[in-house]
Amino acid sequence: MKKKKKDLDMISSGVNGKRSPGDVVADVIIYIVFGLFAFACFWPFYYLFINSISNNDLVENGRILFTPVGVHFDNYSRVMKIGGIGRAALISVIRTVVGTVLHVLCTSFMGYVMSRQELWHRKFCYRYVIVTMYLSVGLIPVYMNIRSLGLINNPILYVISGIVGPYNMILVKTYVESIGQSLEESAVIDGAGYTTRFTRIILPLCKPVLASIAVFRAVGEWNAYMDTIIYMPNGKWETLQSLLFKYLNQATALAKMLERGDILDEMGQTVSISPAGVRYTLTFITVFPILLVYPYFQRFFTKGIMLGAVKG
């Protein structure tokens, strides 16, 4: 690791040689441009956060720009009292966890099955799955299919759609093939069946690739909002994302609701919060899990891309 870093260092000029004044100027420009872009990527999240914790009147008038004023965290508890938000958060969490686990299990099992040479009509089975990547019939036929299955307004759809991903299946298959069969063969000699071999040998060995798949899937599940809008029109199964979107689109309606005191908590008390407060707070609640896990999972993100890009 150390050595690699040192190697990387040599890419830029001036390490081995002298740096001309032109190089210095170029360096300064590069540093500033990248700094500005990084700032532009980071600042909106900071802006959301300081607005969600600042004095609500100041926020409403757009006075909070760089530093929070009148810091309080009441908005977070107040927002949770607004009907539906707690429930939406729960639905978001459940669909992310269950959806990710199902996807990783089914997809990796499929990848393992495809890696086995003895699979009955292996080539056909493989193509049968791969073709689905190219088979795009369009939104409406898919919608009609879901409807005829009775999955409209049915939260099962959240976790059941896309449990086998052909692309991820290929990743697992390639990975299983790359680790070789000797371990598995020794298990066969010990009399282990497919289930045991898959759960005891393949899954532990595939941890790196499974972690990448899981992280990408979890982010995808958490961020999904179109499926709620398309398939859950009755509003009973809102996720955080779709609820936030609803509030954004009905910003004025929300403001009126709050003004009239229509929004009551469970105790029947009026929730005192401004529309802007709701917006900022809800947005930050929705984005926070991603920001929280991001530093930790960052390496998986990078690894995931490289699995896809280099393996082929």
Partner 1 sequence: MRNQTSAKERKGGEDFVKKKKENVPVTNATGTIVPNKKKKNPILTKDGKLAPGFRLFLMALPLFVYIFIFAYRPVAGLRYAFYNYKPPKNLTDCDFVGFQHFTNLVTNPAMQKNIVRVVKNTLGMALLGTALNWIPMVFAMFLMEIRHIKYRKLVQIITTIPNFISWVIIYSIAFSLFSSSYGMLNNVLSAINENWQRVNFLGDPSHMWIKMWAWGTWKGLGYGAIVYISTITGIDQELYEAASIDGAGRFQKMRYITLPALIPLYIVLFVMGFANLFSSGVDKLYAFQTSLNRETLETIDLYIFNQGIGSGNFSMSTAVGIVQSIVSLVLLTVANNVSKRFREGQGVF
Q: Which of 25, 156, 291, 292 binds partner 1 (CB under 8 A)?
A: 291
Q: Which of 1, 11, 189, 267 binds partner 1 (CB under 8 A)?
A: 11
What torsion do the CA atoms of 35, 38, 39, 44 make, to the nearest 10 degrees?
170
Q: Which of 244, 258, 273, 278 binds partner 1 (CB under 8 A)?
A: 244
Q: Which of 56, 108, 212, 241 binds partner 1 (CB under 8 A)?
A: 241
Q: Which is nearer to partner 1, 251 or 264 (CB)?
A: 251
What torsion do the CA atoms of 103, 137, 123, 213 make, to the nearest 10 degrees?
-20
Q: Which of 98, 163, 187, 257 binds partner 1 (CB under 8 A)?
A: 163
Please list the residues that pair with 264 across neighbouring strands. 270
- Is 182 a binding residue for partner 1 by CB under 8 A? The answer is no
Number of other CB atoms surrounding residue 56 within 10 Å: 23
Q: Which is nearer to partner 1, 119 or 265 (CB)?
A: 119
Contact 64, 280 (CB under 8 A): no
Please list the residues that pair with 270 across neighbouring strands. 264
- Is 75 a binding residue for partner 1 by CB under 8 A? The answer is no
d(C-alpha 258, C-alpha 224), whole Å: 28
| Distance, first Cα to last Cα, the chain | 25
The contact pattern for partner 1, residues 88-117, with x = CB under 8 A and - = no contact, is ------------------x--xx--x--xx
Question: Minimum Å distance from CB 22 to partner 1?
Answer: 8
Q: Which of 93, 122, 187, 200 binds partner 1 (CB under 8 A)?
A: 122
Residue span binding partner 1 (CB under 8 A) among the ranges 82-90, 204-212, 258-266, 290-298? 290-298
Residue span binding partner 1 (CB under 8 A) among the ranges 10-18, 78-86, 201-209, 259-267? 10-18
Contact 163, 106 (CB under 8 A): yes
d(C-alpha 64, C-alpha 50), whole Å: 7
Nearest to 227 by CA among 155, 284, 150: 155
Phi, psi of 270 (to 5 degrees): -70, 135
- Is 267 a binding residue for partner 1 by CB under 8 A? The answer is no
- Is 49 a binding residue for partner 1 by CB under 8 A? The answer is no
- Is 281 a binding residue for partner 1 by CB under 8 A? The answer is no
- Is 274 a binding residue for partner 1 by CB under 8 A? The answer is no
